[in-house]
Amino acid sequence: MPLLMPKRARRRKVHRGRRKGFAHRGSTVAFGSYGIQALKPEWITAGQIEACRTTITRRLERGGRVWIRIFPDKPISKKPAEVRMGKGKGDPDQWVAVVKPGRIMFEFDGVTLERAKRIHKLLSYKLPIPVKLRMRRRLGGEE
């Protein structure tokens, strides 16, 4: 399966932008029982998302479900090695997802708390930022 990338993009090259502020949308566990929450702002590459997805699915061992709440829709351009300055912006090199603090990046269900903690620890090795394990907030009588 190829890495995540948009089927088509509005623009081939985009500005770098700014990663300040906190995530307002996507900051609560909405689908699964557990979520992996970002604690710092960062660009998460398509390869890192795929590595996390494979780690989660291997640890679930059937029975569980995975939700990926981020998508790499920002192209990052790069100039080739040993190229002189000038001559315009480089070609798109990879796709990244812009993640702000508080964003739930992955959710999963169908595991115990101990196994969820193990998945969190393994994902923290794969990601370039510190992450936190969040549990879904259950209200009285909800199941």
42-60 per-position pLDDT tens digit = 999 999 999 999 999 999 9
Distances (CA, A) of 46 to 4, 51, 139: 5, 9, 35
- The pTM (predicted TM-score) of the whole model is 0.89
Does pLDDT of 1 surpass 60? Answer: no
The mean pLDDT of 99-124, rounded to a whole number, is: 95
Domains in the chain (CATH in brackets) are: 34-78+92-135 (3.90.1170.10)
Predicted confidence band of residue 32 (pLDDT cuts 50, 70, 90): very high
Q: Which of 128, 132, 126 is nearest to 53 (CA)?
A: 126
Instruction: Retrieve residue 16's tokens.
Output: 């770098």
So what's the pLDDT on residue 21? 93
